Amino acid sequence: MKSEKITKYVLFAVSLIILLIFAGMVFSLAGGAMPVFKEYGLKFIISADWNPTTGRESYGALPFIIGTLITSLLALLICFPLSFSTSLFIAEFYHKTRVASVLGTIVDLLAGIPSIVYGLWGFYTLRPVIIALGLSDQGFGIFTSSIILAIMIIPYATSLSNEIITMVPTELKEAAYSLGATRFEVIFNVIIPNARSGIVASYILALGRALGETMAVTMLIGNANIIPDGLFSTGNTMASLIANQFGEADGLKLSALIAIGLLLFLITAIVNALGKYIIRKFS
Amino acid sequence: MNLGSDIAYIDTFHRRKVRNTIFKIIVIVLSVITTSPIILILSKLIIEGVGQINLDFFTQLAPDTFQAMSAKMSGEKIPGGIVNGITGTLFLVLLASLIAIPIGIMAGIYLYENGSKRYTNLIRNIADIMQGIPSIVLGIIGYIWIVKNITHGFSALAGSVALAIMMLPLIIRSTEETMKMVPESIKEAGAALGVPYHRIILKVMIPSSFSGLMTGILLAVSRIIGETAPLLLTTLGSPVINFEIDKPTSAVPLLIWNFYNDPNMIDLIWSSSLFLMGFVLILNLISKRIIAHREKN
């Protein structure tokens, strides 16, 4: 009996480690961000001025918050028609066929490609196309980053939506078919209304992925510390700014970068929690 | 029924069928477009990368920029390989696994054993949130915790802590899920024989769910192996092979980043990426195999 108690306590203690790691992360990020929030207060979040030159130092996170939101939302917009069609292909049109499982495997492979490889491909293959189309001079910017981000989040959006779509009760679909509905009508009048919240949740979770993507965006967005003023403008996201400037940072600049890390942490946590909450309610 | 409504009926029926067909074609076309990036990326890696892969690639250190430049000027292949990156990646993965696997499996067993209580649900939610934390933020954590306070410099330990935190939620989740598949009866048989609880865990639960645990670990490793961003902030990179936990260490993705930033080394990025990609794919295939094998039995 005694050894049983010990085992139980050990397991409990280990679960406590998870809690401690999480609390420690929040604590460390908040601690590291403290100096910059003391200096600027909440103005840090709404200021658009980022200037690390000594003597004229000024730090504001707004350009990067906006850059992150624009690239991620645009990525979601580009991703949706592709991944939703793929979900319908796999989970409805060709459900349980060989061709659907092959397509599923191919889409899953996308999740296995490292971010830096996406960046390289974007730099050497996609960027020249953007330049050739005359969309921008150098090919860097919000639009290029968003296309790569869209490709990167396709597997996450697809696999979850697949599950949600297959969860729609067969009786409902068959009832509609028996009344003479076409597949198009079943999809839009039975599947989508029934699976709506689950589908929304899977795209929210995919958005959570896009918000934090670092390397590929760093290589493609052009790294300009400005609020992007158009689709083809250069910019920076919160993640790409940290990747770019963390190396040589100290003092107030380091604190500003940690503060941006804290904001990114909070934004992704909220987005993910929202997605998980909807999924849980759905199932 | 009159003729007019009949024609109207046939007309809408026809329109509905056409709409259905057009929609189906759109879905198929967009699905095919979705597969194109993976094909384009893989073929680019293979076409550009295969040429540089030879024995040296796996046994030599990464060249410096002068070696690469002089080789380039005399029209030769860039000398050297990525052995410091390969050993670095293996070292980091090993360290991260040593941290994440025991903690992850024990926490997973705890969650499984204690069902749905307020505290266990809190841990589950935290694991969920941790899974969504961007890897660059974990790099900052590795920097604050280890680089600044423990190793006082960039180190393998800092990188592996960041990677371990990435692995943890995946292992916790997969452990809990696999434990649910262990039949209650064999655990009860053990308990009925008076086997102590820790021995039931070690001798019954872990062995009988071994393939599931293995799959979770392999998938977690394949997730972290290509990570670049957290390593930039923690392990930095190194031109030599390093197996000391308090020293900067290279890794394959870090080498790719260096090659990318050095115009003389461009030729090496594709072969390194091809290698990294191959590694991730093999890990994924093995874990898929294990899953398929288990589902058959």
| DSSP letters spanning A95-117 | TTSHHHHHHHHHHHHHHHS-HHH
Q: How confident is the model at residue B2 (pLDDT cuts 50, 70, 90)?
A: low
The dihedrals phi and psi of A137, each to the nearest 5 degrees, come to -65, -50
pLDDT at A167: 92
Assess whether pLDDT exceeds 70 at residue B289: yes
Q: Locate A217 and state its tokens.
A: 């965006």
Confidence (pTM)? 0.94
> Could you tell me if A120 and A138 are in contact, meaning their C-beta atoms sit under 8 angstroms apart?
no
Shortest Cα–Cα distance, A117 to chain B (Å) = 6
Confidence at residue B297, expressed as pLDDT on a 0 to 100 scale: 65
* Beta carbons within 10 angstroms of residue B249's beta carbon: 33
* Distance of residue B263 Cα from the nearest chain A Cα, in angstroms: 13
**What is the C-alpha separation between B159 and B167, in angstroms, rounded?**
12
Cα separation, B99 vs A93, whole angstroms: 44
Report which of B202, B17, B208 is spatially closest to residue B106, judged by C-alpha positions: B202
Q: Are A44 and A118 in contact (CB under 8 A)?
A: no
- Is the per-residue pLDDT at B115 higher than 60? yes
B74/chain A closest Cα distance in angstroms: 25
- Interface-testing mutation among A64, A85, A266, with chain B (most B C-beta atoms within 10 A): A85
With pLDDT > 90 as the criterion, what percentage of chain B qualifies? 65
Which residues, numbered 134 to 193 in chain A, qualify as contacts with chain B under a Cβ-Cβ cut-off of 8 Å? Answer: 151, 154, 158, 182-185, 187
Tens digit of each residue's pLDDT (9 = 90 or more) over A75-106: 999 999 999 999 999 999 999 999 999 999 99
d(CA B34, CA A151): 8
Residues belonging to chain B? 297
Using DSSP, state whether A78 is helix, strand or coil: helix
Of A172, A228, A198, nearest to A48 by C-alpha is A228
> B117 contacts in A (CB within 8 Å)?
none
The distance of B202 to chain A (nearest Cα, Å) reads 11
Q: What is the pLDDT of residue B186?
A: 86
Does the pLDDT of residue B70 top 90, yes or no? no
Cβ of A216: how many Cβ atoms within 10 Å? 28
Tell me which of B194 and B234 has the higher pLDDT.
B234
CB-hemisphere CA count at 13 Å for B16? 14
Range 44-103 of A in CB contact (< 8 A) with B: 81-83, 85-86, 88-89, 93, 103
Cβ B224 vs Cβ B163: under 8 Å: yes
Beta-carbon pairs below 8 A across chains A and B: 235
Which residue(s) pair with A58 in the sheet? A51
**Core vs surface per residue B78-103: b (16+ CB within 10 A) or e:** bebbbbbbbbbbebbbebbbebbbeb
- Minimum CA–CA partner of B255 in chain A: A116
Measuring CA to CA, which residue among A20, A239, A263 is closest to residue B165? Answer: A20
Residues of B in contact with A257 (CB under 8 A): 140
Of 3.40.50.740, 1.10.3720.10, 1.10.10.10, 1.20.210.10, the CATH number of A63-282 is 1.10.3720.10
pLDDT tens digits for range B244-257 = 999 999 999 999 99
State the DSSP code for B61.
P
pLDDT of residue B53: 86
Closest of B54, B55, B53, B62 to residue B81, by C-alpha: B62
Mean per-residue pLDDT over chain A, rounded: 94
Distance of CA B57 to the CA centre of its chain: 23
Indicate whether B6 pLDDT > 80. no
Question: Is A110–B37 a contact, with Cβ atoms under 8 angstroms apart?
Answer: yes
pLDDT score of B194: 86
Low-confidence ranges of chain A (pLDDT < 50): none
pLDDT at A163: 92
How far is CA A18 from each of CA A23, B7, B123, B125, rounded to the nearest angstrom? 9, 69, 7, 11
